[in-house]
Chains A and B, each alone.
Chain A
Amino acid sequence: MHTPVLQESLEELVERCTQAVETPGFAEAEAWKREVPGRALAGCFPVYSPVELFHAAGMLPVGLAGGGNRMEIAHADSRFQSFVCSIVKSTLEQGMTGVLSSFDALIFHSICDPARNLASVYARNFPDQKVEYIHFPQNLGAPEATGYLAREYERVVVSMSELTGRAVSFDDVRASISIYNQVRSVIRDLYAIRSDTPHLLKTRELYPLVRYGHLVPPERHLEVLLRARAMILAREGRPKDRIRALLAGSFCEQPPLDLIAAIEDAGCYLVDDDFLQGRRWFTRDVDAEADDPYYALADAYANRSVPCAVKHDIRTSKADALVERARAHRADAVIVLCAKFCEPALFEYPLYRKALQAAALPHIALEFEEKMWVFDRIKTEIETFVESLLFS
């Protein structure tokens, strides 16, 4: 997949990204690592990881997104109980079956209790890999939080430098911010295109295009996204009789692609979603020229990032933000789709429900697991929901 295929259609491009996303393992990242001695891979657990730091240290930050529905959990379920979400187990399973053996570092974040304990369990089971855990402040808006996060980032960079033997300058970090800004900016464009003209870009297409960035260097991802955008803008078509739905809740463990397709086939245009939230974490560009780029990244996290269940910012209500977002996207309804056993997502729901009811926005709440194969039940529930809206 290294050389762009000339005159590749959008459908072909989407299909290639789909293949890359659905094929177990990290072949492209491993090939990248082999190309030049001294390169290293960092596996970043969701939700948001400051990928710029790893990129600046000469590493490829690879997004971990669980095992999907093509991996059998044979070992990890004896380590994590039945009431723990699937991605925690599938990530450990990937470790135990050697899928992550080319990674030099694994990065976890303070998103929830199972992910935090996973960082420890992973470190114990794989002592040859470096495990870092990033503490994101949960007092955003407090005067000391941003500076603290900036220093946390520096700590992580020093730790990565030990691994790659490469000192990281401010300019390195600025350059990394700049390339990821470009990637995020095109993703923002694509999201806007889908919201404005959802009949021209399905979520089932957009999703693999965005997720491809989990697996390859940002430069390569950018090139794919730019080509995709050009082709999407040239597309033509007419809107169908579907509802415009905003999908919330699947920010960490990811639903199978076929489930996303099933939701759309049930009669929805998904006009906004929470998928892969970490890849489009900021509402606008991070300052790539700042005197202190660590501070710039931390400041963007604290003050210009999207609301998320794993980020607690008492300055704003996440439920109100959801209603505003639904309105901004002219959504007719909201689908709350939580990963099974995902406590942060499930905790959002009572407040979401209250706010959505108050705003007279219809919603439906569903649960999924990455390892699902059969989607009939969810599809039927959504069809019924859509019909109730279209014909009421």
Chain B
Amino acid sequence: MADLQYQGHLHTLQKELMAEYYASLTASAEGSGVPAAYLLIGGNPVELLRAFDILPVFPEVNALQLAVRKQSLPHIQAAEFMGYSSDNCAYVKADIGMYFAGRKTPFATIPEPTLLLCNYVGCNVYLDWFGHLSEYTGRPAFQLDIPFIRTRSGTPSRDDIVYVLRQLERLVELCEEITGKRLDWDRLREAVRLSSETGALWSKIKHLTKSAPAPYDAYFDSVTMMAPLYCLRGTPQGLRFFETAYAELAEKAAAGVGPLETERFRYVIEGPPPWPHLRTFRDMFSRWNAVAVASTYSTVGGLWEFGFVHDPDHPLESIARHLLEWNLTNRNFLQRYAQIERYLEEWNASALVIHSVKSCRLFSAGQGDMREYFTNRGIPTLLVESDLEDPRYFSEAQMRNRIDAFFESVGHRTAVQGAGS
């Protein structure tokens, strides 16, 4: 293996920066005086909070951290005891269970919200989740209503943009009230500039997996980069992380180094990961030398690789565009098919794996139709089911068998096609 200068920087820096971020949450919870706003990942408007020095708290990130650390189940069960259904999104249940358990987690104490900023970007569960938090915490809630992409053009109308801008202006007023500070436009522009550079780097990172071998796994390694993308976007630290990540991964790409010894299969993966069983799930692909070269999940917070950048000269408008158009959750299901199609072609992948999660119907409802669509187009497509948060829905042996059978058949098919050409 070539002697790589940046080897491993990305992971160390990620750990350091996320630890700092969580320390700031704990400090806020313990009375540092820094206000905290809860908000959601989908196309989030974090830049606006930066301009007011409001700490962003992402309940989805907290929930997934609980799951990765195998701490989610008791909280989920506590929420079910309160009356939540086994069919409700388990992110919500883990979060609400954790809230009533004193907001203490192995990684941070989560502060009470000063503001509940419900950026309704496609997911209807967001509304229930934040509605309930508002009821439990008694804290002010702001519902940012983002019209769904629903017309044939696939883009928001001028009316949509103006509507979101009006709401953002009211959100600014609310933040002014909460913090007692006027909006500093220079600070907002600066946060948006940092986001714009961060997004551009993230996009370049995404395009690196077009090389063969891909320098990293666009699913299992992307998730390492997603936490800084949300929790630190719009800050100098966030930008520094992505500069480091890009340098390291570009170097790997140039050196022809990938995450596995060899790259046998290049596939696209759709759907969130099974956080409670991430390592086991990853191994199921690694043993086949299969690398995800693109993933839809890594675009829930923002879709940068198709050309979006924040514009510091029009900060609010670019935040509005990000919320409306440039993230997976606010796009319709058929736009997702088109996104996957682009990945398959431009990233040169030969198979599609759909991980269908019970909790997240935003992602999963209708994925059988998606399978049908791609299968009819001659793309080997596998659909497997589990959950993103609830460890009880992972059947390891069955999952392994399905994945084994799939890659065996894809391998066979490739061999036959190779022989025939």
Contacts and interface: CB of A to CB of B under 8 A. Distances in A.
B366 A83 contact: no
Given A138-B120, A138-B143, A80 B368 contact: yes
Nearest to B363: A113
Given A314-B134, A351-B132, A117 B89 contact: no
Nearest to B331: A120
A114 interface: yes
Contacts of A340: 87
Contacts of B373: 124
B40 to A, nearest CB: 13
B20 interface: no
B369 A123 contact: no
Interface stretch (A60-68, A139-147, A219-227): A139-147
B150 A135 contact: yes
Interface string B353-373: 000101001101111110011
Contacts of B79: 350
Interface residues of B, number: 50
Interface in B79-100: 79, 82-85, 87-89, 92
B150 A80 contact: no
A352 B373 CA distance: 41
A121 B123 contact: no
A344 B87 contact: no
B356 to A, nearest CB: 6
Given A81-B356, A110-B124, A139-B167, A121 B333 contact: yes
Contacts of A134: 150
A204 interface: no
B167 A346 contact: no
A375 interface: no
B108 interface: no
A144 B166 contact: yes
A121 B89 contact: no
B385 A121 contact: no
Contacts of B127: 138, 312
A116 B149 CA distance: 11
A392 interface: no
B167 A343 contact: no
B125 interface: yes
B130 to A, nearest CB: 9
Contacts of A135: 147-148, 150
Contact of B372 (A79, A148, A350): A79
Contact of B131 (A132, A152, A314, A343): A314
A386 B369 CA distance: 44
Contacts of B361: 83-84, 112-114, 117, 343
Interface string B114-125: 000000101111
B365 A84 contact: yes
B159 A114 contact: no
B369 A148 contact: no
A317 interface: yes
A235 interface: no
Given A120-B333, A349-B85, A80 B128 contact: no
Contacts of A133: 148, 150, 332
Looking at B120, B358, B365, the one whose CB has the most chain A CB atoms below 10 A away is B365
A137 B160 CA distance: 11
A138 B148 CA distance: 11
A117 B271 CA distance: 14
Contacts of A317: 135
A117 B368 contact: no
B82 A139 contact: no
Contacts of A343: 87-89, 124-125, 128, 361
A353 B150 CA distance: 35
A83 B358 contact: yes
Contact of A142 (B145, B337, B372): B145
Looking at A81, A84, A152, the one whose CB has the most chain B CB atoms below 10 A away is A81
Interface string B123-164: 111011001101100000101110110110000000100010
Contact of B145 (A77, A116, A118, A145): A145
A26 interface: no
A119 interface: yes
Interface string A197-236: 0000000000000000000000000000000000000000
A112 B124 contact: yes
A117 B143 contact: no
Interface of B: 79, 82-85, 87-89, 92, 120, 122-125, 127-128, 131-132, 134-135, 141, 143-145, 147-148, 150-151, 159, 163, 166-167, 170, 332-334, 337, 356, 358, 361-362, 364-369, 372-373, 385
14 contacts: A77-B368, A113-B362, A117-B366, A118-B366, A121-B333, A139-B143, A142-B143, A143-B170, A152-B147, A312-B127, A314-B131, A341-B87, A347-B92, A350-B132
Given A152-B147, A312-B143, 19 more contacts: A79-B366, A81-B368, A83-B87, A110-B148, A114-B361, A114-B365, A114-B366, A137-B145, A139-B143, A139-B144, A139-B167, A144-B163, A144-B166, A312-B128, A314-B143, A343-B128, A346-B85, A347-B88, A347-B92
